Amino acid sequence: MPDTATASDIKALGRADMAARLARDIEEGWVVNLGIGMPTAVSDYLPPDKEIIIHSENGIFGMGPKPAKGEEDFWLVNAGKQYVTLLPGASMVHHADSFAAIRGGHIDLCVLGAFQVAENGDIANWATSENDSAPAVGGAMDLGVGAKRLWALMEHTTKEGEPRLVERCSYPLTALGTVKRIYTNLAVIDVTPGGFKVMEMVPGLSFDDLQARTGATLLR
């Protein structure tokens, strides 16, 4: 892989900073679903001056921060089965109504982690092989098609340096053509009709550096 900058020049974001960067773009009043894994951390960085309604697949609208130690309520968990709290104004529904909100387009933003995102907006985040014996899909396919906006939060490459932003996903798809924006440890990239458009890059990284780490042509 061509490499025009040394790793030490590039100020790649850590996972917490990636979550914080994405959180800055969430707008007042949005209903937001944060996927399991890295996206869940976005809730730790929500702008305190805005009211944002966090949804969880198990039927919660208006989740608050995680409870203080010793204050956990056994009956109050999020989709990742972690203890959570409720904000004043929260409401609860059953699973079918919760996913009605998802498919019905009532969620303004969903943030999912991903193995791969393709330049046409396809996302693969649930199985790494067609032969995976018992893959676990959870609510990812519903979230992938239902939210008004789907953003992916992911490392730009695999640990081995293979691009995860690609022309076409090689892993089994979660949803087709629905990702609108990608936040990685290196860049913010919009998925446009013409392909991946670079909106922002971390300091020390050139456009060519980023292109070298990406499996599809980037647009400026």
Partner 1 sequence: MIDKRVKTMAEAMAGIKDGSTVLIGGFGAVGQPNQLIEGLVEQGAKDLTCVANNAGNGHVGLARLMELGRVRRMICTFPRTPGSVVFEELYKAGKIELEIVPQGTLAERMRAAGAGIPAFYTPTAVGTLLAAGKETREINGRNYLLEHALHADVALVECWKADRWGNLVYNQSGRNFNPVMAMAAELTIAQTQHMVELGDLVPDTVVTPGIYVQRVMHIPYLDKA
Q: Hey, which residues are catalytic here?
A: 57
Of 56 and 116, CB closest to partner 1: 56
Side chain identity, residue 196: F
- CA torsion, points 171, 185, 25, 86, in degrees to nearest 10? 80
Tracing tokens 């990685």 back to the chain, one arrives at 184
Told to check if 60 binds partner 1 by CB under 8 A, we report yes
Among positions 87, 176, 212, 216, the unique one binding partner 1 when judged by CB under 8 A: 176
For 204, counting Cβ atoms within 10 Å of its Cβ (0-12 exposed, 13-18 middle, 19+ buried), the class is middle
x/- mask, partner 1, residues 89-128, rule CB under 8 A, reads ---xxxxx-xxx-xx-----------------------x-
Of 12 and 77, CB closest to partner 1: 77
| Tally of CB atoms within 10 A around 172 | 18
- Per DSSP, what are the bridge partners of residue 111? 34, 151
How many residues in the chain?
220
**Residue 84 near residue 76 (C-beta atoms within 8 A):** yes
Minimum CB separation from partner 1 for residue 15, in Å? 20
Told to check if 59 binds partner 1 by CB under 8 A, we report yes
Extended strands (E) in the chain: 31-34, 53-56, 60-64, 85-92, 109-112, 116-118, 123-124, 149-153, 165-166, 179-183, 187-192, 195-201, 218-219
Instruction: Specify the stretch interacting with partner 1 by CB under 8 A; choose among 5-13, 20-28, 47-55, 88-96.
Output: 88-96
Minimum CB separation from partner 1 for residue 74, in Å? 6
x/- mask, partner 1, residues 128-157, rule CB under 8 A, reads --x--xxxxxxxxxx-xxx-----------
Of 67 and 204, CB closest to partner 1: 67
Of 31 and 173, CB closest to partner 1: 173
Minimum CB separation from partner 1 for residue 194, in Å? 22
| Binding region for partner 1 (CB under 8 A) | 56-60, 73-78, 81, 92-96, 98-100, 102-103, 127, 130, 133-142, 144-146, 172-176
